[in-house]
Amino acid sequence: MLLTVCGLIAQDAKLPVLIIDGQNNHNWKGTTPVLKDALEKSGRFTVEVSTTPANADEFANWRPDFSKYKVVLSNYNGQNWPIVVKIAFEEYVKTGGGFVCIHAANNSFPDWPEYNKMIGLGGWGNRTEKHGPYVYVKDGVLVRDETPGPGGSHGPQVEFTVDLMPDGKEHPVTKGLPDSWLHAKDELYDRLRGPAENMKVLATSFSNSTKRPEPMIMAIDYGKGRVFHTAMGHADHSMKCVGFYTVVQRGSEWAATGGVTIPVPKEFPTKDAVVPVK
Ligand SMILES: [Zn+2]
């Protein structure tokens, strides 16, 4: 009896997530609470936040304990973490820890090669052809374009459609989602570039700037770890939509466990309308 009870508890245990914020050219104070709400509303996670200290001495001594968490979610775009934290983070993901990269977190750390491998694609921070190819869809096929040039751009914020790629129709994170849905007003990142190794593009969105589908949802294997990366999520208003909530919940669960049990809600958006989170 006791074993059964313990077994049930183990199976139902919530997955601990650590959100990192504290520096970002975006309103992280406004978006971290939304990300926390998205994860907690699923009932699948417990969420803690580690905010990098503003004081330089305290920042130098900031030591998050990644090993306590099944997944680390970055809402951080700022100065390099202390070297021991970078090494600990590489080790954490390499040995099976989950990582979730949200929007401008893919702007961070342009000169940290292992980070660029984890996120697959990034932008800004003087990213160029030295960081890897542009990756986008041409004639229905994912291409790696080695053309020299800067990485990272976007047009004005708009509502836009997210379209599943063939890999997205099979992947645990996005399987069962509609082929296309409308996403809340957001920046549509384009011209991202990076090593793009061991990366599946699960969904794209058509950019009016580049006139081509650009990667929007990615799944990357890094060592034994799994990385879920979405280029969406510029602001709180971009996040407070059922599509974004669902994708972040399922992406985080997959990064933590390799599987997804969180269902696709009945109210998941269609191509016709954004569905705000209540
Ligand atoms: Zn942005």
Average confidence (pLDDT) over 219-248 = 98
Residue 11: pLDDT band with limits 50, 70, 90: low
Residue 1: pLDDT band with limits 50, 70, 90: very low
d(CA 33, CA 29): 7
Q: Could you read off the pLDDT of 134-181 as tens digits, one per residue?
A: 999 999 999 999 999 999 999 999 999 999 999 999 999 999 999 999
In the reported structure, the alpha carbon of residue 186 is separated from the centroid of ligand 1 by a whole-number distance in angstroms of: 8
In the reported structure, the alpha carbon of residue 235 is separated from the centroid of ligand 1 by a whole-number distance in angstroms of: 7
Q: Could you read off the pLDDT of 37-83 as tens digits, one per residue?
A: 999 999 999 999 999 999 999 999 999 999 999 999 999 999 999 99
Average pLDDT, the chain: 96
d(CA 215, CA 201): 6
Ordered by start, the domain boundaries in the chain are: 2-257
Task: State whether the Cα torsion 53-59-61-67 is positive or negative.
Answer: positive
Find out whether 16 and 64 touch, Cβ atoms under 8 Å.
no
Q: Exposure pattern of 139-176 as b/e (b: 16+ CB <10 Å)?
A: eeebeeeeeeeebbbbeeeeebbbbbbebbeebbbbee
pLDDT at 2 over 50: no
In the reported structure, the alpha carbon of residue 104 is separated from the centroid of ligand 1 by a whole-number distance in angstroms of: 6
Confidence (pLDDT) at 10: 53
In the reported structure, the alpha carbon of residue 95 is separated from the centroid of ligand 1 by a whole-number distance in angstroms of: 31
Percent of the chain with pLDDT over 90: 95
The pTM of the full predicted model, rounded to 2 decimals, is 0.95
In the reported structure, the alpha carbon of residue 244 is separated from the centroid of ligand 1 by a whole-number distance in angstroms of: 15
In the reported structure, the alpha carbon of residue 79 is separated from the centroid of ligand 1 by a whole-number distance in angstroms of: 17
Q: For residue 64, how many other CB atoms are within 10 A of its CB?
A: 18
In the reported structure, the alpha carbon of residue 166 is separated from the centroid of ligand 1 by a whole-number distance in angstroms of: 27
Which fold does the domain 2-257 belong to in CATH? Rossmann fold (3.40.50)
In the reported structure, the alpha carbon of residue 233 is separated from the centroid of ligand 1 by a whole-number distance in angstroms of: 7
pLDDT at 5 over 60: no
Q: Could you read off the pLDDT of 196-216 as tens digits, one per residue?
A: 999 999 999 999 999 999 999
In the reported structure, the alpha carbon of residue 105 is separated from the centroid of ligand 1 by a whole-number distance in angstroms of: 10
In the reported structure, the alpha carbon of residue 238 is separated from the centroid of ligand 1 by a whole-number distance in angstroms of: 10
Residues in the chain: 278
pLDDT at 12 over 70: no
